[in-house]
Amino acid sequence: MVSTPRLPALVVVGFLGTLMLPGAALAQPRCAPSRPDMLGPMYEPNAPERARTGEGFTVAGAVRSAGSCAPIAGAKLEWWSVNVRGEYDTAHRATQTTGADGAFRYETDQPKPYFNRPAHVHVKISAPGHKPLITQIYPKPTDAQITTDFVLARD
């Protein structure tokens, strides 16, 4: 009589579970919403449409929908930061709208720390069918560019 080796039950269950869920490998990735941060007192709506308010620091990426990670076309990004003297001014405010791929690229002066706050850039992102996101980016002094996606929660 020939004996067939037996696999431990845990391995069999794991193996069968993989066979029973072939769609799991093809499932869309899930995106967690981006972490919000404070609005701060210096926000002003209606900034001009532009992608550059200075030079030396760039933020690039895409706006995505939580859950599906799909890019969000027509998302509105509102940026504000301090100038090279560490002061807020209208020259360092911008609004952008994403295209079909959800992509954005914003360039400004290298952020400066001020009033015991670390260097940062503010951004408010809104899109139809999604909750607005207000957050901040905190670059290191040596960062010339940060690549990041902003993920919005659905309404």
Q: What is the CATH classification number for the domain harbouring 115?
A: 2.60.130.10
- Please check whether residue 131 lies inside any domain of the structure: yes
Where does residue 78 fall: left (phi above 0), alpha (psi -120 to 50 degrees), or beta otherwise?
Answer: beta
Share of the chain above pLDDT 70, in %: 81
pLDDT at 115: 85
**pTM strictly above 0.85:** no
List, for residues 65-110, the tens digit of each pLDDT value. 998 999 999 999 999 999 999 999 999 999 999 999 999 999 999 9
- Please check whether residue 48 lies inside any domain of the structure: no
pLDDT at 29: 58
- Please check whether residue 2 lies inside any domain of the structure: no
Distance CA 144, CA 54 (A): 12
- Please check whether residue 106 lies inside any domain of the structure: yes
Inter-CA distances, 73 with 31, 45, 49, 67, 80, Å: 17, 21, 16, 16, 22
Inter-CA distances, 42 with 45, 73, 82, 133, Å: 10, 27, 10, 16
Number of structural domains the chain divides into: 1
- Please check whether residue 25 lies inside any domain of the structure: no
- Please check whether residue 31 lies inside any domain of the structure: no
Question: What is the domain range of residue 113?
Answer: 56-152
- Please check whether residue 23 lies inside any domain of the structure: no
Which segments of the chain have a pLDDT < 50?
1-28
- Please check whether residue 6 lies inside any domain of the structure: no
Distance CA 79, CA 59 (A): 11
